[in-house]
Structure 1
Amino acid sequence: MSLVKAKLANLLARRRFGGRGLHPHALANLEALEGLDPALPIDACRFVVLDLETTGLDPEKDRVVSVGAVRLVEGRVRLGESFRELVNPGRDIPAVAVKVHGITPDKIAGARHGAQVFEDFLGFLGRDILVAHYANFDLHFINRVMLGRYGFSLQNLVLDTVLMCQAVVLASDPYGINRHQKACRLEALAKRFGIAAPERHTALGDALITAMIFQRMLARLEAVGGTRLKDLMRVAQVK
């Protein structure tokens, strides 16, 4: 979706939901696209890089168990501005998922439920541009909460580092063979850019790895003349 269409959809959402006594963070989210101009220099944009750990890979059946995010401003990761919280999924955590992220039922027994955690995350996110690896997966979980709690989906511009990888890192694949698809996995990109991954499969650890990968790919985009938000949207925007 182009930014023009997104802003039009946002205008309709504001007219429909703006007067419903929403939580302040949700109300503020309706203003997320205000002031966002495709001609902005990328260095003038603010980003929040997100990762979720879940009970599994089925977006319909599974639930979130951990949220992690870091902020990136003027091309730099602000380690002092991060979001990290365990989430009570309201269901069991399969053993196969525990083996991946190490989050056991006892660790989330006293944690808050997703709707409460995501409400606070909205406050952390503000109007910043959201960035994630395989962003549609994370966005599905966020929007399930947003739609159920507020009636509208997340209004922020969303970028996907996988799409960006395909556009600025990999060789052209004009026939759609996708033979390089595995090269866009988080581990492969971290290795390509020499990024250590000591906290792999923790939400905050993966968010930090994604943020550093995003930094490297922004540099590649800039090297070929992509210095404006519109250039970044062209290669990474979630449609």
Structure 2
Amino acid sequence: MSSSMWQTLRQWLGARQAAPLPPLPPPQRHELQQRLAQLQPFAQPGAQPLATQALVVFDLETTGLDRQRDSVLSIGAVRIQACGAQPGIALGHSFARVLKVPVPISPLGQLFHGLTQDDLSQGQDPRLALLELLEWGQDALWLAWHAWFDQAMLHRAAQQWLGKHAPSSRTGKMLLPLPGVCDLAQLLPALLGPCPTALQADMPNKTPVISGDHDLDAWLQALGLAHSARHDAVADAMATAELALIALAHAQAQGLQTWGQLASLASQRERERQQPGF
């Protein structure tokens, strides 16, 4: 998505902060604290094999695009796991939660993400939903499209709703393990090059137009992946996961074997892209 589009969406959606939640009853609070204490640090890209490492691909729907003020409304995630010799999407094992957050939804925001105030009122307590997500993805590396945004929103929501229940160090530092998130919007162009838009069927001899390398819809179109339910968290996560499988196949074809190698390549290509005159 272009910077101008991000700015436009910020203006449309507006920042919406959630009000505090009511305290949990003591038994639920104690259980939450126990489960938080059992969370282990999340893995970072390293020697994990591309072919067998479990992945969580997730997407968030939010009240807007202000990482400091807006709130997470829903979470969608799917898993990629070893399936024979190649990784595949674990169908039937998706994660979908609408959060019961006390936050107003603007009419324009509702048009964008489709969630209503009634949807939120019937959602799950965000403390439990976020804990379940972290538990669900403990063994995996995490991926997202525009990970800088989803990671920031996920971490902020977890700190907001779970922070006071998490264990603390002797110095008072909160001990809440949170995943680092790999950005598929960087991995994909690092492996496949610039994103060409799909050729129209009636113009097969035309030169492809170069689209934004970090535009999810452009990549879906260019690679022939149709998704009509965009801006639904699970649907967006599924679309991103399908692109991730293509990226993994290209990475292995190029001789890469580990997630550390892939992350290093993506960082190198991103630095090159940002150099003047590139």
Q: Is the 2:61–2:113 contact (alpha carbons within 8 Å) kept by the matching residues of 1?
A: yes
More off after superposition, 21-30 vs 121-130: 21-30
Q: Give matches, 1:190-205, under 5 Å.
A: 190-205=220-235
Counterpart of 1:209 in structure 2 is: 239
Q: AA paired with 1:156?
A: P
Q: Is 2:184 aligned against 1:161?
A: yes
Q: Is 2:45 aligned against 1:29?
A: no
Cα distance in 1 for partners of 2:108, 2:157 equals 25
Q: Which consecutive unaligned segments of at least 5 residues does structure 1 have?
A: 1-20, 173-179
Q: Deviations over 1:170-206 (max 9, x none)?
A: 249xxxxxxx672321101111111110221100000
* Larger CA Rg, structure 1 vs 2: 2
Q: Is the 2:50–2:252 contact (alpha carbons within 8 Å) kept by the matching residues of 1?
A: no
Cα distance in 1 for partners of 2:65, 2:97 equals 20
- Give the structure-2-normalised TM-score: 0.68
Could you tell me how far 1:214 is from its partner in structure 2? 0.6
Q: Is the 2:64–2:109 contact (alpha carbons within 8 Å) kept by the matching residues of 1?
A: yes
- Give the structure-1-normalised TM-score: 0.78
SS at match of 1:80: coil
Distance 1:157 1:61, change over 3 A: closer
Q: Is 2:128 aligned against 1:116?
A: yes
Give the number of equivalent residue pairs: 210
Cα distance in 2 for partners of 1:234, 1:153 equals 27
SS at match of 1:73: strand
| Identical pairs, percent | 26
Distance 1:32 1:23, change over 3 A: farther
Counterpart of 1:218 in structure 2 is: 248
SS at match of 2:47: coil
Q: Deviations over 1:70-125 (max 9, x none)?
A: 00002100011110011123211112211111111111112123222101111211
Q: Is 2:74 aligned against 1:66?
A: yes
Cα distance in 2 for partners of 1:63, 1:184 equals 23
Could you tell me how far 1:154 is from its partner in structure 2? 4.2
Could you tell me how far 1:23 is from its partner in structure 2? 3.5
Q: Is 2:59 aligned against 1:51?
A: yes
Q: AA paired with 2:250?
A: R
Counterpart of 1:99 in structure 2 is: 111
Q: Is the 2:50–2:259 contact (alpha carbons within 8 Å) kept by the matching residues of 1?
A: yes
Distance 1:32 1:100, change over 3 A: same
Q: Which consecutive unaligned segments of at least 5 residues does structure 2 have?
A: 1-30, 167-173, 196-209, 268-278
Could you tell me how far 1:219 is from its partner in structure 2? 1.3
